[in-house]
Amino acid sequence: MRNESESGESAAMVPGTNFVSQVRAEVLPPVDVAVIGGGTAGVIAALAAARGGAKTVLVESRGYLGGMLTAGNAGITMYIKFSGRPEEHDADVRQLKSDPRELQIAGGIAMELTDRMLAEGIAIGNEGTAGSYVFTSSEDFKRLLFLMMKEAGVEVRLHSFFVDAVRDGDRILGVALESKSGRQFLPATQVIDASGDGDVAARAGAEYTVGVTERDLCAAEAKIGEMMNMGVMFRVGNVDLETCFDWLEKNPQHFRKQPFARFTFEEARERMRRGENATINIIREHETPGGFQVYNLPTPGMVTLCCPQLKGFDGCRVEDLSRAEVMMAEMLERWMKSIRTIPGFERSFLAQVPEMGVRETRHITGDHLLNIEDIYHRTHFADCIGFGAHPIDTHPRPAWLNDPETAYPPRWHFEIPYRSLLVKGLANLQTAGRCISATHEAFGCIRPTVQCMIIGEAAGTAAALAVKQGIDPRALDVEVLRNTLKANGGLC
């Protein structure tokens, strides 16, 4: 296990001296719940906590909310149970048309937010609802998130960097922030670490692992500590998808179904024409192994492509992040040259590239370590707070998981236990999102956006209940938590 600073002091040793410099900090008004990170999990956690009656502050380092959901260009996935075989996929499509709630695993705030975007026309799904993927108009999504925060009474602190956690025994007293206003201290009764990298937990001295460990089945083949590749989902403008589909029809060897959406060529084309999600893979093996994943968007002529990847970088090292950004810029220049050889993309341009997308860093040790067996075998948890359905996508993986068409039973999904959100050794800190307590392999199913939103709602709801009852999240009656989530439209 690793840990970082055991103390919450804001102090730094100056090389060549024997003294410690201390930084003065303005003390902000105390809050019930501080959510650190306004990305996928954090925005939902803050909404849930505020709606539950807690005075809530959402802290975000950027000037907008949403993280991978907005500027990261990620599709929102997975909303529905997974079926791999073509005939099962066909049955799921019919179910999505007739009774989507029988198929969908998401409810609560995640579905409320999605339904609002679909109704406003700033997102596209399938059959008028959420299927495997929903893609959005990012700027409209940012606006909607601000509106929902205002409606719920969440205080949003943008352009504010988390820098330290102040700890007394097993309690977090609050968090130190840095911004243009200088150093500030935010006292909080409950804290939710939705930073993605588990920054709050690590700074507070919590145990964590990074990447592959001996507990992963792939440990014999993979390097211990190895993490999923970094990458970006970038947007390209001035694309004529109709021309591209004409070319693919005449050259079917360049078309491949996207693994999780599983649309045939005919399905994808028809859905694109109807203004629905029409995810496809365009194969150009001699230029880019695996081809290009192309996702259409609500904005005509604009698509998202996924995604160049970089191996062997650590998202918790600023040196690695800096080097990765430079390398990605060079890589995208080569990709665009190749992309422009595809009919329909000849006059395309690079419209937007997000900052580096970090898939995996720390896994904070919690009360339960979710593993690949729990997920694949659909272990039932009495403290289940929601579901996931994204197939295990870490590599290497057991041979029996390599083929999504044969490895999973129809409408496969799994349960997420509340105990994996509770940080071992800390009384009032929860994690939300991809840094919860899970092995490297299990994390491959937890990291997708819908799953992070489901986890975020559970963490925010638990924090509000804990404040209301004057207890810590670990002491909550889990049935009260589950019933509250269900009463708010959640599925668990």
How far apart CA 49 and CA 35 sit, in angstroms, is 9
How far CA 492 is from CA of 56, 82, 333, 454, in Å, comes to 24, 17, 45, 10
Q: In a 3-state reduction of DSSP, which class is residue 240? A: coil
Residue 5 has pLDDT above 70, yes or no: no
Residue 90 has pLDDT above 90, yes or no: no
Please state whether beta strands 31-36 and 56-59 pair in parallel, antiparallel, or not at all (unpaired): parallel
% of the chain with per-residue pLDDT over 90: 82
Average pLDDT estimate for 156-184:
97
Structural domains in the chain, sorted by start: 1-223+359-492 (3.50.50.60), 230-352 (no CATH)
In the prediction, which pLDDT does 237 show?
98
When comparing pLDDT for 470 and 280, which is higher?
A: 470
Residue range 112-131, pLDDT digits in tens: 999 999 999 999 999 999 99
The band of 17, judged by pLDDT with boundaries at 50, 70 and 90, is: very low
How far CA 196 is from CA of 192, 371, 377, 450, 472, in Å, comes to 11, 19, 26, 14, 22
The band of 1, judged by pLDDT with boundaries at 50, 70 and 90, is: low
How far apart CA 459 and CA 35 sit, in angstroms, is 10
Residue range 391-424, pLDDT digits in tens: 988 888 888 888 877 889 999 999 999 999 999 9
Residue 46 has pLDDT above 80, yes or no: yes
The band of 9, judged by pLDDT with boundaries at 50, 70 and 90, is: very low
- Compute the mean pLDDT over every residue in the chain, rounded to the nearest whole number: 92
Which residue is it, tokens 């339960």? 368
Q: What is the DSSP letter of 354?
A: P
When comparing pLDDT for 238 and 15, which is higher?
A: 238
Residue range 207-265, pLDDT digits in tens: 999 999 999 999 989 999 999 999 999 999 999 999 999 999 999 999 988 776 678 89
% of the chain with per-residue pLDDT over 70: 94
